[in-house]
Structure 1
Amino acid sequence: MNFSKIIAVTGKPGLFEILSQTKSGVIVQSLIDQKRMPINATHNVSLLENIAIYTFSEEVPLAQVFKNIADKEDGKEAISHKESADKLTSYFAEVLPDFDDERVYTSNIKKVIQWYNILAKANFDFSTLVQEETTSEE
C-alpha cells in the first residue's frame, strides 16, 4: 500500500486506496471493508500526502504526524478518536509538541487519529513514510 495513493472522500467514511483511473474518475477500494467503488469528478477528494498540520514554526506533513504516532504506539492503534477533547489534545501534544492549538481544532485531531487507526488496522507499514519523503525531496 502506497501512501501517495491513499485518499479521503468527503461524505464517505474511512479512507480509500486508488486502484486505477478511468475517463471520468478513479476506482478506489475502502481500507475498512475492502469494497471497490468508482469516484468521479463530482466527489471532493483529498490526497493524504497533500495534508499538513499547522505548528508554530511550519506546516508538518500528515505523513510525519502518522510516523510520530506510529513511533509512539509501535505501529499499533492509537487511542480512540472518540475520547474527550482534553485527552485527544494532550495526546496530540505528545505526538506533535508545537502544534498550533488555535488553528488545529479538536475535530482535526479526531480525524487524524481516526485515519491513523484505519491505516494501522489495514497493516500499513508506517516505516515507509520517511523513505517516501526523502525520495520526493531529491
Structure 2
Amino acid sequence: MNLKGLVAVSGKPGLYKIIGQNKSGFVLESLDEQKAKLIVNLTTAKLASLEDITVFGDDDDIKLATIFENMKSSASIPDPKADGTTLRKYFREVAPNHDEERVYASDMKKIITWFSLIKDLPLFTENPEGEAEAAQSEAAVEPEPTAVEEAKPVKKAAKKTKKAE
C-alpha cells in the first residue's frame, strides 16, 4: 500500500493528494469525485501525511498502513456513523493492540472514513517506494562475469620542447 503524497488537512473534511508546491504552501487535489483543487498555506493549516500517522498502541504505536492492510482483509467494515461500541469491537479486530483509553471513537470514525475513500484507488494496491526498490533489488540477478579485456597500453603524451630564443 502506497500512502505517499496523501494528506489530511486540519479543518477540512476528506483526504487530499499533493500535486504541487508553491512558495507559500501546497497545491492539493481532493480524492473524492469532485477532484477539487485547493491551495493550502502552511502558516494557517496543518497537513498530516497518512504514511506518518500512527495510532496509540499498548506496547508500540501502530502504523496507519498496517491498520488499512488489516481492514482490507476484513470481512465487513462498519459504517463510520455507527455507535462507539460497534466501532470499538471492529477496531479490536483490525488493531488488536490499540490503546482503548487513548484511541477515541472519533479517531476510529476518521480512519474508517479515510479507508472508504482510498480503498478503490490504484495506489492502495501499490507497494511503497522503499519496498518496491527492495523487491526489485532482490529479484535482480547478477550478470555472469565476462572475459576481462586485456589492458591496453597507455599512450604517453609527446613532450613539448621550448624553443630557445
TM-score tier after normalising by the smaller chain length: 0.7 to 0.9
Tell me the C-alpha RMSD between the 2 structures: 2.2
Higher normalized strand content (fraction of residues): 1
Q: Which has the higher helix share?
A: 1
Structure 2 residue corresponding to 1:135, chosen from 131, 138, 143: 131
Q: Residue 15 of structure 2 corresponds to which residue in structure 1? A: 15
Partner of 1:38: 39
User: Match for 2:128: what amino acid?
Assistant: E
User: How far apart in 1 are the matches of 2:56 and 2:29?
Assistant: 29
Residue 38 of structure 1, CA deviation: 0.7
1:29 aligns with 2:29: yes
TM-score by length of 1: 0.85
Q: Does 1:79 align with 2:78?
A: yes
Alignment of 1:32-71 (within 5 A): 32=32, 33-41=34-42, 42-71=44-73
Alignment coverage as a number of residue pairs? 131
Q: What per-residue deviation string (whole Å, max 9, x for no partner) do you get for residues 70-120 of structure 1? A: 1214xxx83211001100110111111121101111111111111111112
Q: Give the gaps of 5 or more residues in structure 2.
A: 135-165
- What is the CA-CA distance between 1:127 and the residue it aligns to? 3.3
Q: Residues of 2 paired with 1:133 and 1:85: CA distance?
A: 36
- Residue 44 of structure 1, CA deviation: 1.4
Q: 1:58 & 1:127 partners in 2: Cα distance?
A: 25
Letter in 2 for 1:35: A
Deviation at 1:67, TM superposition (A): 1.0
DSSP 3-state at the match of 2:93: helix
- The amino acid across from 1:127 in the alignment is T
Distance 1:5 1:125, change over 3 A: closer
Q: How does 1:92-103 map to 2 (within 5 A)?
A: 92-103=91-102
Q: Give the secondary-structure state (helix, strand or coil) at the position aligned to 1:3.
A: coil
Percent identical across equivalent pairs?
Answer: 34
Q: Is the 8 A contact 1:81 1:113 kept in 2?
A: yes
What is the alpha-carbon distance in structure 1 between the residues aligned to residue 83 and residue 15 of structure 2?
A: 23
Tell me the TM-score normalised to structure 2 length.
0.72
- In structure 1, runs of 5+ residues without a counterpart are none
Report the AA paired with residue 60 of structure 1: I
Cα distance in structure 1, aligned partners of 2:103 and 2:129: 23
Paired letter, 1:26: F
